[in-house]
Structure 1
Amino acid sequence: MSRRRVIAGSVAASVAGTGVLGTAAGLSIASYFARQVLSPKPPLPDVDILGYDEASVTLSLTPATQSPGRYSLYWDGRDSHARLGAVIERTDGHVVRELLGVDFGELHEGPGRFTGYFYAGPPATTLPLPIEDVSIDGPLGEYPAWIVRGPHSRGDRWAVLVHGRAAARAETLRAVTPLTDVGWTCLSPSYRNDQDAPADPAGRYGLGLTEWRDVEAAVAFAYAQGAGDVMLVGWSMGGAVCLQLLDLSAYAEGISRVVLDAPVVDWEETIDFHARLNRVPMPLNRLAQRAVASPTAHGHFAGLSEPLDLPATNWVRRATELRTPTLIIHSEDDDFVPYGPSAALATARPDLVRLEPWQVALHCREWNTDPDRWERVVREFAS
């Protein structure tokens, strides 16, 4: 049975008990922190393109740009895209990476965005399979989605691929080859607050507690197209979305398996992680978590249209409620979603959860550092 518990309590009293700041200042800081977690943000440049030639691109040096593996580079927003390979040279200020190809746009110096997507979606793609654009009727309107079929795809086996928070559907394309190889048709839907999808009424993320309804519409679409077996694949917050769908959807019994890449399996611990990272005093962090769950304070405090039951996202605590075979791929060096809860969930449910730990990879970049291993593990689990 689903557990939908809302934490009540006096937010003002919580602030007064922190002993850190006065009530007004504490509320202001905690509210700001909560809204940073919940607010959709456009993809912003995070790297400088310093130079290029036919075989290489020179980028500013960051932990991401010097990481091993294959990556993606956007510039001019999302109007230009290139695929990058191995590091050729590294100095104190820049890194030179192999240029594998420019998919669309013209390279030039200036700001760019370095991602783990690797494959870009339409208007151009190097994915060796065609992408079909479709629209899914969902709870807030029409949601754009992609269908990808391979030569071995079957019409009765559908994998629904759920991207992460503030990410794009292109994030999911790395899974298409191993899944279509073993017979799956891939459906990559958008969900609320994506750039090309309807906005949430409050313009805030629900951390999976609202987005699951949008992905449920994608599952319903797959069944309407002839699916008899459905698998969920989720990255980061997309993993939290998948877990809520399994808990709350009428379609949950038909989901045969789940693949989670760097998933949020406990939002409380993930928010704690970011509070420590951003030096937010723990009492104020706790206040923020209580406020977004409060039936009376969630709107004024965090701009939410409904309270968010954060304890319902703690699947380590709720491990006994899991019913679906699950593969978790997660890097011990993840810099955004802590690895610990994934390991704890696998320990709690070794009968149902298989954990594939990675090293070195930053958040959601396990495929990038070792695509052969990633695809082999997913192919074996999905077969």
Structure 2
Amino acid sequence: MARSTSAKSLWTAAAVGGGLALIAAACAGLVMARVALTVITPVRKRPQNQSIRAVDEDAGTVTLKHTPDAAVPGRYGLWFDDDTGYAKVGGVIQKSDANVERELQDVAFGDIRPTSRARLSGYYYLEPAELGVPVRSVTIETELGEAPAWRFPPADGTDTGRWVIQVHGWGATRQEGLRAVKTFREQGYTTLLASYRNDGDAPESADRRYGLGGTEWHDIDAALRYAADSGATSIVLMGWSMGGAVVLQTLTRSSSAELVHGIILDSPVIDWIDTLEYQARLLRLPDPITQGALRLIESTWSAPITGLGAPIDLASMNFVARASELDRPTLILHSDDDGFVPSTASRALAEARSDIVTLVPFATALHTKLWNYDEARWSSSIADWLDEHIV
């Protein structure tokens, strides 16, 4: 009887243990799927991770919760009340361990008041009209349909055939590049701010997923053809964040790549695996979860989970490993405290291809906020590089 009871207890323990193991495996699978989907699903709403503590419109100040973003000098956009309001903020006036008081430059729309639903943005400008320069809204014929773009002439109004095509990043739109227009106009460039699939402006792909550069490059290839048809003879491709990955794919896969005389990369993704593993470490995800999420993105069998129309070959997006394939003058601007895309791959590529890559490192400018942090240095670095390297 005792032996029977003992055996029964062992079977019960085994069943419970097996059930727990299955539950643990299922939970791990769900986490992997969620991580993978977060990477490849276009985001329409950014996290509201900032708090407005106080507003004094008469004095022209706004007080924010002290965070790394809130404490960095420069000028930024401030979205509030779940992005229903927008203001422009300037330099830091004073700060404590708890709060940062900044200059309140302008409230574009919304009723700014203390709220826990706010976020800082590098966009700064939202519409071309804010720049006070001529602009045309144009459309680019892509394989998915018409993609809207903004086209700005050079400052002197003379199109010499030198163009720059700006490519925005993950979760962004062509508004991201408005702050760079002045720099290129003053250097005599026609500036095209392009859109690409699934960004909310351009047509959606059938799967409505990011290809992390592996599909979006087709739309920038179309932008190259548009520029060529419009008289461009020397094109610089500029990519912000994931836009850097799109630019690198375009450069190495486009049949119009001979028109590209150089590339500029701001806070770029140069190696997706390095970037995603870095983000996973920040989130303290166990490595098996991270690697499982990467496999989901890369695998054909996982399509019912990810929704991807085709797997993404992340290894082929490592341009440190592919450094020998690059042959155009390249300018990289990256901050070592980026917090989203590590500067390690940028530094590695600059070291591997010191013959063509110029790296301008920043220390405290965060992700894609280098212009905001130090516009003068950012602009002069680009202007000097264009003068030296691009014909």
Could you state the TM-score of these two structures normalised by the residue count of structure 1?
A: 0.89
5+ long unaligned stretches in structure 2 = 1-20
- Residue aligned with 2:71, SS: coil
1:361-372 alignment runs, 5 A limit: 361-372=365-376
Could you tell me which residue of structure 1 aligns to residue 50 of structure 2?
Answer: 47
Deviates more, 1:243-252 or 1:55-64: 55-64
- Residue aligned with 2:334, SS: strand
**Counterpart pick for 1:277 among 261, 277, 282:** 282
Could you tell me which residue of structure 2 aligns to residue 12 of structure 1?
Answer: none
Shift in Å at residue 26 of structure 1? Answer: 3.2
- Letter aligned with residue 152 of structure 1: D
- Residue aligned with 1:144, SS: strand
Could you tell me which residue of structure 1 aligns to residue 155 of structure 2?
Answer: 151
Work out whether residues 251 and 257 of structure 2, in 8 Å CA contact, stay in contact via their aligned partners in 1: yes
- In the alignment, the residues of structure 2 paired with residue 340 and residue 324 of structure 1 have an alpha-carbon distance, to the nearest angstrom, of 21
Deviates more, 1:84-93 or 1:309-318: 84-93
1:260-275 alignment runs, 5 A limit: 260-275=265-280
Distance 1:130 1:33, change over 3 A: same
Give per-residue Cα distances to partners, 1:307-363, cap 9 Å, x unaligned: 101011100001001011100000011100001010000000011111111011111
- In the alignment, the residues of structure 2 paired with residue 197 and residue 106 of structure 1 have an alpha-carbon distance, to the nearest angstrom, of 31
Shift in Å at residue 104 of structure 1? Answer: 4.6
Work out whether residues 262 and 337 of structure 1, in 8 Å CA contact, stay in contact via their aligned partners in 2: yes
- Letter aligned with residue 96 of structure 1: E
- In the alignment, the residues of structure 2 paired with residue 251 and residue 108 of structure 1 have an alpha-carbon distance, to the nearest angstrom, of 50
1:25 counterpart = 2:12: no
**Counterpart pick for 1:56 among 61, 82, 104:** 61
Work out whether residues 64 and 362 of structure 1, in 8 Å CA contact, stay in contact via their aligned partners in 2: yes
Could you tell me which residue of structure 2 aligns to residue 327 of structure 1?
Answer: 331
**Counterpart pick for 1:96 among 76, 90, 101:** 101
Give per-residue Cα distances to partners, 1:79-110, cap 9 Å, x unaligned: 64332111112234332211223345554444
- Residue aligned with 1:64, SS: helix
- Letter aligned with residue 251 of structure 1: S
- In the alignment, the residues of structure 2 paired with residue 147 and residue 104 of structure 1 have an alpha-carbon distance, to the nearest angstrom, of 26
Could you tell me which residue of structure 1 aligns to residue 10 of structure 2?
Answer: none
- Residue aligned with 1:257, SS: strand
1:156-305 alignment runs, 5 A limit: 156-297=161-302, 299-305=303-309
Work out whether residues 153 and 181 of structure 1, in 8 Å CA contact, stay in contact via their aligned partners in 2: no
- In the alignment, the residues of structure 2 paired with residue 20 and residue 281 of structure 1 have an alpha-carbon distance, to the nearest angstrom, of 18
- Residue aligned with 1:65, SS: helix
Work out whether residues 137 and 148 of structure 2, in 8 Å CA contact, stay in contact via their aligned partners in 1: yes
Shift in Å at residue 202 of structure 1? Answer: 1.5
Shift in Å at residue 75 of structure 1? Answer: 3.7
- Letter aligned with residue 71 of structure 2: Q
- In the alignment, the residues of structure 1 paired with residue 22 and residue 243 of structure 2 have an alpha-carbon distance, to the nearest angstrom, of 35
Shift in Å at residue 223 of structure 1? Answer: 1.2
Could you tell me which residue of structure 2 aligns to residue 342 of structure 1?
Answer: 346
Give per-residue Cα distances to partners, 1:251-286, cap 9 Å, x unaligned: 111100000000000001001101111122212212
Distance 1:20 1:146, change over 3 A: farther
Question: Higher helix fraction: Structure 1 or Structure 2?
Answer: 2
Could you tell me which residue of structure 1 aligns to residue 133 of structure 2?
Answer: 129
Deviates more, 1:93-102 or 1:205-214: 93-102
Work out whether residues 147 and 195 of structure 2, in 8 Å CA contact, stay in contact via their aligned partners in 1: yes
Shift in Å at residue 227 of structure 1? Answer: 0.8
Could you tell me which residue of structure 2 aligns to residue 377 of structure 1?
Answer: 381
Work out whether residues 273 and 338 of structure 1, in 8 Å CA contact, stay in contact via their aligned partners in 2: yes
- Letter aligned with residue 193 of structure 2: S
Higher relative contact order (CA 8 A, sep 6+): 1
Distance 1:230 1:243, change over 3 A: same
Distance 1:172 1:293, change over 3 A: same
- In the alignment, the residues of structure 2 paired with residue 141 and residue 345 of structure 1 have an alpha-carbon distance, to the nearest angstrom, of 35
Give per-residue Cα distances to partners, 1:156-188, cap 9 Å, x unaligned: 111001111001222111211111111101000
Could you tell me which residue of structure 2 aligns to residue 118 of structure 1?
Answer: 124
Shift in Å at residue 59 of structure 1? Answer: 2.4
Distance 1:221 1:331, change over 3 A: same
Deviates more, 1:240-249 or 1:171-180: 171-180
Shift in Å at residue 48 of structure 1? Answer: 3.0
Aligned-pair identity (%):
42
Shift in Å at residue 205 of structure 1? Answer: 1.0
Aligned residues: 362
Distance 1:80 1:154, change over 3 A: farther
5+ long unaligned stretches in structure 1 = 1-18
Work out whether residues 207 and 237 of structure 1, in 8 Å CA contact, stay in contact via their aligned partners in 2: yes
CA RMSD between the two structures: 2.1
- Residue aligned with 2:123, SS: coil
Deviates more, 1:243-252 or 1:150-159: 150-159
- In the alignment, the residues of structure 2 paired with residue 154 and residue 163 of structure 1 have an alpha-carbon distance, to the nearest angstrom, of 26
- Residue aligned with 1:200, SS: coil
